[in-house]
Amino acid sequence: MEERRKYKRLPIKLELEINSLFKQNNDIIKLDNKTIEVIDISKNGVGILCRDELPLNYYFNAKIEFDEKRYFYCVLKIIRSSKSCDKYCLGCEFVGLAEFLADKVDEYGQLLNDK
């Protein structure tokens, strides 16, 4: 099968807490600090696992932390969802991420290759 993704996915183990989801029309959903597990990352977005279903086309704030010195803050939009066993697999894309921040994903990939 031909790879159609623009950027390579890299494995990552990272937990994020979400306390709210929002839409551009100021529609806000409050959450009780839902913990999600980030399983992969690319320059375009992240793949996550979550116990609860989260609605499509909502946004949330996140801190992507590769290590203590390499991290950035971003906004992610939920664009894809599927159920797998007892968890939901979600695809999220970065929204308005500056190129120099997206380059941090490449730096992380280089660190993985150097190991």
Q: What is the pLDDT of residues 11-26, one digit of tens each?
A: 999 999 999 999 988 8
pLDDT in tens, 27-68: 999 998 889 999 999 999 999 999 989 999 999 999 999 988
Judged by phi (left if over 0) then psi (alpha if -120 to 50, else beta), residue 108 lies in: alpha
Which DSSP state fits 25? T
- Average of pLDDT values for 91-101? 94
Structure tokens at 50: 């979550």
pLDDT at position 4, please?
A: 61
Calculate the alpha carbon distances from 85 to 25, 47, 50, 52 in Å: 33, 16, 11, 12
- pTM equals 0.90
CB 33 within 8 A of CB 18: yes
Q: Is the pLDDT of residue 3 over 60?
A: no
Q: Quote the CA–CA distance of 103 and 113 in Å, as a whole number.
A: 15
